[in-house]
Structure 1
Amino acid sequence: MKLIPTTVGLCLTASVLAACGGGGSGGGKDDAEIVDGGTFTMALNADPGNLDPHSSVSSALFSISQLSYDHLFNTNFDDGTIESGLASKWDVKGKTVTATLAEGVTCSDGSELKASDVVANFDYIADPKNESPLLGAFLPAGATSKADDTARTVTITLAAPAPFVLQGLSNIAIVCADGLKDRTALAKTSAGTGPYELTKAEPGNQYTYSIRDGYTWGPDGATTATKGMPDTIVMKIVENESTAANLLLSDGLNGAIVSGTDRKRLDAANLTTYDTATLTGEQWYNQTKGRPTVDPKVRLALTQALDLAELQKVLTGGSGKPATTFAALDPVACPGDSVSGALPKQDVDAAKAVLSAADLPDLTFVYNPASGSGVSAAAELAVEQWKAAGVTVKAKSQNVTAIQETVFGTGNWDIAWLPVNVNSPDQLVPFLSGPSTPDGTNFANITNDDYEAGVQKASAMNGQEGCETWLEAESALVEAADVIPFANSIGKAYRAKATFDYPGQMVPTSIRMLAN
């Protein structure tokens, strides 16, 4: 059984803005002897910046937060069911969620976690003035919470039905009272109930964590007394996959996510892997007033100009598949195909006619090349295909920090390859509708009435009963060329002298150090 916190986020190939999902382990052999203690070093492809777990939905922050913070629930990776986390039991009745905290849970400063501390976390996120991107994505807008410290219960009252509310709450890292008193301190420290505590922050270089004694409430009963767990975890910033691969082969890393062409030499080295499935190709158009791509005819033409099947092959090095749903991470809440039947067919002549008549200026196309040469090669191919259709597109390769600033800050972009990875479709809603930046997370400023009507209808249904409606809503986005998912791939979490589970994020209690 593999238990994970469900995750959401924006990912560029390996990851950019929040978590990428996981698959099964494979490759190589874990036949070395387990050894206790030592230091485990994992590559992180971007610096998370502010370490306050409620400040961002970046995958870098999610990855690092797993070490110091727990969640109310975990997800059974095999079947997607909700399992215990900080909450030992829970109940959902209509618009009311009740959770009872497990006994004996303590914070890194030794204090006991209280129900009122958990509620304070939700209250902070729920307050719009705090501008937490978790509001709407994980905590339903309008939800209110109350605590009973004596009974150790947390009661959440929803403003409207939320079909996957437990999955959403499972993404919220719970900060302890000490951290809640001074949110600014959380930028460079940790204050959680997790198995590790941040002991040294070196922004731009690495973050060092030390194991906590007495931790007994981990996933599936995991404890830090288990043989093989490292005493120290170092999350090292390594933006380039080729560099990460070199470090894996030279004993400079114990783990790294590699999705690109460097996998061939790592596979040849017989390293073990934990395979991670992810949506890697997803094209967005900036629909902010004044941008050329606000015109639906232009968006459709730009899509028709592309050979998406060829782009998918180049992007994934021939190892991927066409995208079929917006929510693609295992365990997928709503399996099916919302993309294939709605995807505009390639028609270069039709694209030429529209783009010529539109008399477009040069368009700005942003992408992140961190996962290897396949991304850059696919971007170059897309630019050539747009050129063949009569439009000049200037590609800008940007690192994680820069591309986040572009789409959430300056807004100076027309086309972006920025996959949003989630496992339940309701988690996508704030990215596909509602307030745009800086007031919300709808960074492409999408307004699609058919999608919003579908969301409203599906949200009133119970969980997977609404899946058909959710998928129909996604199809409306593809038909309008609002968002074009076009490639899925399998990334691999490579493991050297250690074994661990990585179903979207590191599971720290799964780490076992191995002898040489």
Structure 2
Amino acid sequence: MKLIAVIAGVCAGATVLAGCGGSSGAGKGDNGAGGKVVSGGTFTFAMNSDPGNLDPQASAASNLFQITKFAYDSLVNVADGGKIVSGLAKSWQVDGTKLVLTLHPGITCSDGSQFTATDAAANLNYIADAKNKSPFLGVFVPAGAKATADDTAGTVTLTTPKLAPFLLDGLGNTPMVCAKGMQDRKSLARQTDGTGPFQLSEAVSGDHYTYTKRAGYSWGPDGAGTATKGVPDKVIVKIVPNATTAANLLLTGAINAATIVGSDQSRMEQAKLFATDSAAPYGEMWFNEAAGRPGADHAVREAMVRALDLGELAKVLTAGTGTPGTTFAASAPVGCPGNSVADALPQHDMDKAKQLLDGAGWKAGSDGTRSKDGKPLALTFMYNTELGEGGSAAAELAVKQWQQLGIKITTKPRNETAAVDAMFSTGDWDVAWESLAVSTPDQIVPFMSGPAAPNGTNIGHISNAAYEAGVAKASAIPGTEGCPEWLKAEANLVSNSDVIPFANQVIKTYGKGARFDFIGDLVPTSIRMLAG
């Protein structure tokens, strides 16, 4: 999962796993995109917050997920439209609960060492070992999975305890670490050890990260390599927290790519910059249901949902360009199209919301604030600052509506890194606006069930028996055949007010002096530098 990252230069508006969305392919726009392809040069894009620890398997934050792609590869890749194409593996065969992948020969790590089938198996087993607390466990790599290797044949065999309907999709989002990094995980915090097209050459926390092109790289998505004309010699990831600043830098040519949201988009359109369109979940409301938290009370959760005019919030959040939430796995390429939200969503009704709280013993005092057994109904509301001006305005509107309900709200705007820390580690939140950027419904399961954070990835401490039963039924059906059951399962999360997807958005990543593809994230091997 990728916890919502509105990356001002990569992935605006979603959280964590598969990326922010799909791509419109070659993109559109003439300014800076129609020039002659030229080799070399430096490609610079803006990211709105520092990714922190660079270990590619340690966090579900989408800014880390994006930056990881420059230095690390996955065994397979998910192309535009959901097609599985080659990565480190040149071929694969699925037989029920057994997957055999055959690696390309001659794959090297950034230090020149060989990447072997044994290394690939070690990565999968590391993630599958619960003691390592990788957020990819149960999301990309199924719980209970075991990997073995045959270095002579160059094959990796992955067995799962039960059918994994979207296993290849998950592996397409699982970065592989080379042997040296696997042996010294702490070294990965500030340097890279992967097989990717670029290698980290400079890291200045809070300012920029510089990646240098690797010669001889030829095992990228569907055989992409760095010898292709137009691939830059260097990539600089520049940390630019302010979206307007990122827009200004892009328009002046100081950077080559930025994801722009809000009012600044009109300036990009007027300049007719190159742009890719990316479907993404943009507004998703979570409740902390841990024992002792107000959200543990179903009446509180449902009342808070009913108190909000979610349609109006979505309009404010997306500046009128978004659409209502439809599913939890809404990032293109969407594995299970449909709508698990509309029919299950508690409808806006302030009177009903007040009745729910009254019935649960939360009575309004003389100042209008509700309390129970002498304890006020007070909650901490955290929202991602990378949602921009629309996010701040929508959050202000939500607070007003909750205050009308008699709830005392403490607002905590947080950037992605701080939000992820709160949700996965400290637990210091009650309501949060963060979105999971995933493409297949199986990828959300560990975030909606199982061990709670910080011991697991169930960040809302959700215990929803109907959802879990639905997942068990859907998981026994291969691939997209099980989509109707997956959507039925998800609806139980909405009707129980555990998590509410209330807005989707088409995110635009603009380019100047370069063009690129955006499939879940910006694809490093697709970057082409342009003359003039």
Provide TM-score, normalisation by structure 1: 0.96
User: How many pairs does the alignment contain?
Assistant: 508
- 1:16 deviates by 6.2
Say if 2:87 is the partner of 1:75. Answer: no
Contact residue 109 and residue 178 of structure 2 kept, 8 A: yes
Give the aligned partner of residue 510 of structure 1. 526
Measure the CA separation in 1 of the matches of 2:527 and 2:314.
33
State the shift of 1:15 in Å. Answer: 4.4
- SS of the counterpart of 2:522? coil
**Match among 391, 394, 400 for residue 375 of structure 1:** 391
- The aligned amino acid for 1:20 is C
Q: CA deviation at 1:12?
A: 4.5
- 2: CA distance, partners of 1:55 / 1:396: 25
Q: Which runs of structure 1 show a deviation greater than 6 angstroms over 4 or more consecutive aligned residues?
A: none
Q: Give the alignment partner of residue 458 of structure 2, picking from 442, 456, 459.
A: 442
Partner of 2:365: none
In structure 2, distance between residues paired with 1:306 and 1:164: 35
Find the counterpart in structure 2 of residue 393 from structure 1.
409
Q: Does 175-184 or 423-432 show the bigger shift?
A: 175-184
The reply to whether residue 9 of structure 1 matches residue 14 of structure 2 is no
CA apart distance, 1:345? 0.8
Report the counterpart of residue 367 of structure 2 in structure 1: none
Deviations 1:273-327 (A, max 9, x none): 0111110001111100111111111111111101000000000000000011110
Which letter maps to 2:467?
Y
Please list the CA deviations of residues 161-188 of structure 1 after superposition, one character each: whole Å capped at 9, or x if unmatched.
1111111111111111222222111111
Aligned to 1:113, what secondary structure does the other structure show?
coil
Unmatched tracts of structure 1, length 5 or more:
1-7
What corresponds to 1:224 in structure 2? Answer: 226
Deviation at 1:378, TM superposition (A): 0.4
After superposition, the CA RMSD in angstroms is 1.3
Which 5+ residue runs of structure 2 have no aligned equivalent? 7-11, 363-370
In the other structure, the counterpart of 2:142 is: 140
Aligned equivalents of 1:331, 1:17: Cα separation in 2? 15
Distance 1:407 1:133 in 2: 12
Q: Which segment is superposed worse, 197-206 or 147-156?
A: 197-206
Q: Aligned runs of 1:352-363 on 2, under 5 Å?
A: 352-356=354-358, 357-358=361-362, 359=371, 360-363=376-379
Q: Name the CA distance, whole Å, in 1 between partners of 2:133 and 2:520.
A: 25
Rounded Cα–Cα distance in structure 2 between residues aligned with 1:404 and 1:92: 34
| TM-score normalised according to structure 2 size | 0.93
Number of the residue aligned with 1:285: 287
Quote the residue 1:4 is aligned against: none
- The match for 2:29 is 28
Tell me the distance in 2 between the aligned counterparts of 1:412 and 1:129.
Answer: 23
1:91 and 2:107 matched: no
The question of 1:40 aligning with 2:43 is answered yes
Report the equivalent of 2:481.
Answer: 465
1:6-405 pair list within 5 angstroms: 8-13=1-6, 14-15=12-13, 17-18=15-16, 19-24=19-24, 26-29=27-30, 30-78=33-81, 80-356=82-358, 357-358=361-362, 359=371, 360-405=376-421
Q: Is the 8 A contact 2:86 2:223 kept in 1?
A: no
More divergent stretch after superposition (264-273 vs 357-366): 357-366
Match of 2:9 in 1: none
SS at structure 1 position matched to 2:450: coil
| Greater CA drift, 388-397 or 137-146 | 388-397
Distance (whole Å) between structure 1 residues aligned to residue 99 and residue 143 of structure 2: 14
Output the CA distance in 2 between the equivalents of 1:90 and 1:59.
28
In 2, Cα distance between equivalents of 1:91 and 1:199:
37
- How far has the Cα of 1:379 moved from its partner? 0.4
- Identity rate of aligned residues, in percent? 53
Kindly provide the amino acid, as one letter, of the partner of residue 213 in structure 2: I
Q: Which residue of 1 aligns with 2:423?
A: 407
* CA-to-aligned-CA distance 1:204-247 (integer Å, 9 cap, x gap): 11111110111112222222111111100001111221121111
The CA deviation at 1:11 is 1.1
Q: Structure 2: how far apart are the matches of 1:429 and 1:491?
A: 25
Structure 2 residue identity aligned to 1:335:
P
Q: Deviations over 1:412-467 (max 9, x none)?
A: 21111011110000000000000111110111100000000001111111111111
- SS of the residue corresponding to residue 147 of structure 2 reads strand
User: What residue in structure 2 maps to residue 5 of structure 1?
Assistant: none
What CA deviation, in whole Å up to 9, does each residue of 1:339-378 have, x standing for no partner?
A: 0011111111111223354124222110012232000000
Aligned partner (choices 488, 491, 494) of residue 504 of structure 2: 488
Q: Contact between 1:261 and 1:372, CA under 8 Å: does it hold in 2?
A: no
